[in-house]
Amino acid sequence: MATRERVMIFDTTLRDGEQSPGCSMNAAEKVRVARQIDRMGVDIIEAGFPIASDGDFHAVQAVAQAARRPIIAALARCRREDIERAWQALAGAARPRIHTFLATSDIHLEHKLKMSRRECLEQARDAVSLAKSMCDDVQFSPEDASRTDRDFLCEVVQAVIEAGATTLNIPDTVGYSVPLEFADLIHEIRSRVRGVEGVVISAHCHNDLGLATANALAAVEAGARQVECTVNGIGERAGNTSIEEFVMAMRVRPDRYAFDTMVASEQLYPASQFLSEITGVAVQPNKAIVGRNAFAHEAGIHQDGILKNALTYEIMTPESVGVPGTSLVLGKHSGRHALAIRCSELGFDLERRELDRVYRDFVVLADKNKSVNDGQIVELIAAVRAIPSEIVPSQSHGDRIPLRHDSGGSPASRTAPPGQPEGVEMPRLFAADHDGEQQEDYLWGV
């Protein structure tokens, strides 16, 4: 079996992610999050911006001591005091990296930095040279690269590579680029810059147009071998490339992305939940991979399909990303099949005529309420059967039916989607077919 190329994951949740309004963390919280990120298996953790404050300096020190396996990076502007401070913070790291950056677009040079292109090039080169004198592993980012004149960008990149940079990170700082354009930028840098084959090209994409993950994937196709991500996609303004989206896009579609990461995908959901707990910032319900609704189904057609074979409406198992299981939401769009399953789980095996009556009453109730919980279902059954409604099972799942995919069965018995290459061993993303009698949802779509 051919070895698949590896893409390194640079997690910047503790640095760029923390710059998201409401997501700041103290040193102790950063260490806790860093340990969870380390459990995911990322290659690099950017721990913070040491010159920003004494608190961030000590947080980088603490993370460097706590996480010994991954590379620990510290951010620094292209200034001597920043670089020296970053190196001091990284002194205890097992595998340190200095990440220095300088804006290169004309709009930044003119309005923010008040410097010429020549001054910018010299400052970037000198900063990388200084960082290299302290640390073997140096990353340089030309801020706002996607809006920088390409001839000048290639000049700067050439200079920092000659000065000793080992990783070249290309940021779409304001989320302005689109996938084909960003891929072309990576291609151009690879074809025009001497010595670029000796460094790792990285992509740092923002989500202002909702294209961060798409741009990162395009960059990898164009030759980038490191991607900067954050848990839940948090970060400045609309956020960064989401680690869960990027990792699972490559894992679910190996036919399109013949690359591997070292990320343990079953840790994605726990990391998402843990970060939300620490920051107090909830994940949007429809967030891909880790949102509350990512593996939830309310429509009757969908629920019936899921109950017969999860592949009908799920392209990965929830367990493959650490989600406990699929949930079927009982609302006005639900069908008889899901309602019958929930009634059975509550201890009531209804005959078809009883189910019809309960279902009619259920739809009326669901039209009034957004969802129907277990107690209300029992009351509907009680009205049909004339049984005491106080007899409610002790275990209630509210308005959601939790489903766990069968973990048994040999790999040969599992159905994988078209295009998955033969012989490629992947984590268990796809559920086995359901055995036994498949119930019919006899009013599809309701």
- Position 371 scores a pLDDT of 81
> Does residue 245 sit in the same domain as residue 119?
yes
Query: Confidence class of residue 416 from pLDDT cuts 50, 70 and 90?
Result: very low
**For residues 251-258, average pLDDT:** 96
Asked if residue 422 is part of any domain, the answer here is no
3-class SS of residue 222 = helix
User: What angle do the packed helices 179-192 and 212-222 form, to 10 degrees?
Assistant: 30
> Does residue 256 sit in the same domain as residue 320?
no
Kindly state the helix (H) or strand (E) to which residue 189 belongs, with its residue range. helix 179-192
> Does residue 179 sit in the same domain as residue 94?
yes
> Does residue 230 sit in the same domain as residue 371?
no
Q: Which of 73, 44, 47, 68 is nearest to 58 (CA)?
A: 47
Q: Indicate if the pLDDT at residue 397 is higher than 70.
A: no
**For residues 297-304, average pLDDT:** 88
Q: Indicate if the pLDDT at residue 138 is higher than 70.
A: yes
> Does residue 303 sit in the same domain as residue 260?
no
Q: Indicate if the pLDDT at residue 393 is higher than 80.
A: no
- Position 60 scores a pLDDT of 98
> Does residue 240 sit in the same domain as residue 330?
no
Asked if residue 375 is part of any domain, the answer here is yes
Q: Indicate if the pLDDT at residue 403 is higher than 90.
A: no
**For residues 131-159, average pLDDT:** 98
> Does residue 270 sit in the same domain as residue 300?
no
Asked if residue 427 is part of any domain, the answer here is no
> Does residue 145 sit in the same domain as residue 35?
yes
Asked if residue 429 is part of any domain, the answer here is no
Task: Write out pLDDT tens, residues 418-433.
Answer: 444 444 444 455 554 4
Asked if residue 93 is part of any domain, the answer here is yes
**For residues 127-133, average pLDDT:** 98
> Does residue 314 sit in the same domain as residue 273?
no
User: What angle do the packed helices 27-40 and 268-279 form, to 10 degrees?
Assistant: 170
Asked if residue 133 is part of any domain, the answer here is yes
Asked if residue 432 is part of any domain, the answer here is no
What's the mean pLDDT when you consider all of the chain? 89
Q: How many domains would you assign to the chain? A: 2
- Position 445 scores a pLDDT of 34
Is residue 297 within 8 Å of residue 329, measured between CB atoms? yes
Asked if residue 437 is part of any domain, the answer here is no
- Position 434 scores a pLDDT of 40
- Position 414 scores a pLDDT of 37
Which tokens belong to 105?
């677009």
CA distances from 356 to 287, 342, 366, 377, 445 (A): 35, 14, 15, 13, 15
Q: Indicate if the pLDDT at residue 204 is higher than 80.
A: yes
> Does residue 269 sit in the same domain as residue 310?
no
What range does the domain containing 212 cover? 5-279
Task: Write out pLDDT tens, residues 205-245.
Answer: 999 999 999 999 999 999 999 999 999 999 999 999 999 99
Tokens 């970037």 sit at which residue? 124
> Does residue 200 sit in the same domain as residue 89?
yes
Per-residue three-class SS string for 252-278: HCCCCCCEECCCCHHHHHHHHHHHHHH
Q: Indicate if the pLDDT at residue 108 is higher than 60.
A: yes
Burial label, 445 (beta-carbon count in 10 A; 0-12, 13-18, 19+): exposed
Mark which of 250, 279, 308 sits at the end of a domain.
279
> Does residue 258 sit in the same domain as residue 314?
no
- Position 446 scores a pLDDT of 30
- Position 328 scores a pLDDT of 85
**For residues 36-62, average pLDDT:** 97
- Position 330 scores a pLDDT of 87
End-to-end Cα separation, the chain, in angstroms: 47
